[in-house]
Structure 1
Amino acid sequence: MESRVLIEDSPLMSWLYDIFSFTALADALGTVEIAAAALIALHPVWPRLSAVGSALAVVLFLGTVSFLFTTPGVVGMFANGFPVLWAKPGQFLLKDLVLLGVSLWTLGEALQRIHRGRAGVPGPE
């Protein structure tokens, strides 16, 4: 699925193409995603930076999950009266809902570790 179609149809993000070219925006989003992943991976050493990375990932995945509601053709057919997601783009975007949950989980873990460190409570090894 080409990201251009997703972003162009999004009222939350389409304005970014007024500022950036397609390539510049794709490069920037990719760089931010990699930076968020690297920060999350620092959890054992620097939980504060991990919390920043997790929060950044939450924002990124909220943006991509919003495409489920703004992209035409996500719901393409109905089975027994229930909407069904098309393989593209609906099911492609569905993975971001899982990744949003994982990002919230890692944010919670990092914040708990930070809180335990402030309270002087040893955490699990």
Structure 2
Amino acid sequence: MALLNYHTLRRRLVVASKVVMRFGLALVLIWIGAMKYTEYEASGIKPLVENSPLMSWLYDIFSVSGFAALLGAFEITIGVLIALGFAAGRLPVLGKLSALGSALAGLMFLGTLSFIFSTPGWEPSLGGFPALSVAPGQFLLKDIVLLGASLWTAADSLEMAR
């Protein structure tokens, strides 16, 4: 009887973790993407982008608010694509689209993680590197977990697309 309960509990935890992982990742991306349309968020990402050797050139093309809005649209689109994975069991093409969204999220999180190294802000009162400041360090460190979630949802979506 205990073995059955263990397997039942495990199965329920697996199902719950899949729902929370996919929903949580999609929600975070859509919510943060929507926030990019505010002046608060546009000015908040400015020091990250302008100090990045990978992305600083974008402000030569776009205004601060224009780039934030473009990034917001990208994040919302990625979040919606990831959410399509909920229906991928019924329509395999949705699994492929969800996997694409997850892959794009993974690339985006790799890009945001690079800000830890390019944005000034190691905590000087603790001796600098490796002491992370609240912003950008601790704020960006969570993207390691989001990167893992995007890799997991990509694999799960591809499995459902088979």
> Please, what TM-score do these two structures have when normalized by structure 2?
0.65
CA distance in 2, matches of 1:96, 1:90: 10
Of residues 121, 145, 152, the one that matches 1:98 is 145
CA positional deviation for 1:75: 4.7
Gaps of 5+ in 1: 118-125
CA distance in 1, matches of 2:123, 2:160: 41
| Paired amino acid for 2:70 | A
1:6 aligns with 2:54: no
What percentage of residue pairs aligned between the two structures are identical? 54
Of residues 2, 24, 34, the one that matches 2:76 is 34
The residue aligned with 1:49 is 97
Partners of 2:122 and 2:130 within 8 A in 1: no
Larger Rg: 2
> Please, what TM-score do these two structures have when normalized by structure 1?
0.83
Q: Secondary structure at the match of 2:85?
A: coil
| Paired amino acid for 1:26 | A
The count of residues paired between Structure 1 and Structure 2 equals: 113
CA positional deviation for 1:110: 1.2
1:19 aligns with 2:67: no
The residue aligned with 1:85 is 132
CA distance in 2, matches of 1:112, 1:69: 35
Give RMSD over aligned pairs: 1.8
Gaps of 5+ in 2: 1-40, 88-93
CA distance in 2, matches of 1:15, 1:75: 27
